[in-house]
Structures are given as structure tokens and as C-alpha cells.
């Protein structure tokens, strides 16, 4: 039983260590899986990594398909990367360093792309604090003649229709209020007429007037 319990504890410990190591450093190239970019222009290839346990002298490499494109080293989070394998077509963007953030920016700018630059770009990072374990993320670049212009005609039509419907609803509510107001005023006027007519009948043609006439008649 003791040996069985020891093996179970060792297995659980190994599983926890594996999970912790997998979560210790994370590399991301953003949510987009493919970047479409115009021929002859510069393109930013995004990459960030986070290290929960911190890092020191972390090595990073950018791969284009199976070819090493650029590599460097990040000594600490408070300094900018140092180039090890430089490339005249690759630049590091000027990005702010956040001392309180665990995220470090390893994005690169690929200058004057052409159609031959279309392919997969992988950002890989090794952290010595993780015994050289490598983490990576891949993004695709598609170089096109011209970026497609978004046709906003349908959007404008939809917006116009929605605006028209809202306008009609508001107009309908206003008309309803006006009709109800008119009916209310008409009802009040009819009530006033009924009250006035009822008073005239009692004083001129009704019983009280007849009694008054009888009292005023002279005795023979």
C-alpha cells in the first residue's frame, strides 16, 4: 500500500509539474490566423509571450516556413531584444516596455513584402528557467496585389432601412398620441354640451318652471 501510495503521489506530482510548465510560458500571435497584406508594403507580424515564473536570457526565433528568418535574445523584461541572427529586411518595432506587465512583445516588421513572402511564420521562444522548453505560435501571411475594399453599400442600405423603420414607429406613436388627445378633448366637449342642455331643459321646459308659473298666476 505504501509503495502504491508513493507511486500515485509521484504521478500526480509529475502531472502538476507538466501542467505548470505548460502554463508557465505562453506565446501568442493574436486571434487572426492569416494576415492579408498588399505587395510592396511593410507588414507587422505580431508575437507576444508571457512568463508566469519570469525569464532571463530568453531566446526567440522567427521562422519562415522551415527557414530561420531572424533570432535574438531578451535578457530581461526591462530591456529591448538583442539581435543574434539579423536580417536587413526585418526590423523590431518601437514598442513600449511595461515593467509591471508579464507580457513581452517580440513582433517584427517585414519590409517591402512581395508574393514570395507568402507562407507561414512561426515565433518560437525558449526560456532557460524552464530548462530550455520551447513554445511557439504560427501565423500565415498572404501577399496580394491590392487589399479588397469593403463595399459599404449594403451596410448603408441596411442602416437606411432600419432608420426608416424607426422613424415610422416614432411617427406612428406621435399620431396615436394626437388621436387619443383629440378623442379625449371631443369627449370632454360632448360632456359639457350634455350638462348645458340638461340645465336648460329643467329651467325652461321642465317641471320646476311650470310650478313657478302656477304660483305666479293671479287669483280670480
Q: What is the pLDDT of residues 14-24, one digit of tens each?
A: 444 444 444 45
* Arithmetic mean of pLDDT over the chain: 76
The candidate with the shortest Cα–Cα distance to 95, out of 104, 82, 83, 85, is 104
Q: What is the pLDDT of residues 57-75, one digit of tens each?
A: 899 999 999 999 999 998 8
Boundaries of every domain in the chain: 24-144, 150-194
In the chain, helix, strand, coil percent, each to 5? 40, 30, 30
Give residue for cell 360632456.
191
pLDDT of residue 181: 77
> Could you say which of 2.60.40.10, 3.40.50.410, 1.10.10.10, 3.10.20.30 is the CATH number of the domain covering 24-144?
2.60.40.10
Contact 9, 71 (CB under 8 A): no
When pLDDT is cut at 50, 70 and 90, the band that residue 10 belongs to is low
Amino acid at each position: 500500500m505504501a509503495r502504491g501510495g508513493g507511486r500515485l503521489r509521484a504521478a500526480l506530482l509529475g502531472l502538476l509539474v507538466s501542467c505548470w510548465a505548460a502554463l508557465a510560458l505562453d506565446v501568442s500571435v493574436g486571434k487572426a490566423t492569416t494576415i492579408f497584406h498588399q505587395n510592396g508594403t511593410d507588414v507587422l507580424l505580431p508575437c507576444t509571450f508571457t512568463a508566469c515564473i519570469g525569464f532571463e536570457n530568453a531566446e526567440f526565433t522567427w521562422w519562415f516556413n522551415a527557414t530561420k528568418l531572424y533570432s535574438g535574445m531578451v535578457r530581461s523584461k526591462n530591456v529591448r531584444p538583442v539581435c543574434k541572427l539579423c536580417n536587413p529586411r526585418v526590423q523590431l518595432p518601437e514598442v513600449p516596455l511595461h515593467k509591471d506587465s508579464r507580457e513581452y512583445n517580440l513582433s517584427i516588421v517585414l519590409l517591402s513584402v512581395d508574393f514570395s513572402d507568402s507562407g507561414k511564420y512561426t515565433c518560437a521562444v525558449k526560456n532557460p528557467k524552464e530548462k530550455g522548453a520551447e513554445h511557439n505560435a504560427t501565423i500565415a501571411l498572404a501577399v496580394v496585389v491590392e487589399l479588397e475594399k469593403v463595399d459599404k453599400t449594403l451596410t448603408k442600405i441596411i442602416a437606411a432601412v432600419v432608420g426608416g423603420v424607426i422613424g415610422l414607429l416614432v411617427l406612428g406613436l406621435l399620431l396615436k398620441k394626437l388621436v387619443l388627445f383629440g378623442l379625449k378633448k371631443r369627449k370632454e366637449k360632448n360632456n359639457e354640451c350634455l350638462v348645458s342642455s340638461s340645465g336648460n331643459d329643467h329651467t325652461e321646459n321642465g317641471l320646476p318652471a311650470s310650478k313657478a308659473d302656477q304660483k305666479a298666476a293671479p287669483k280670480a
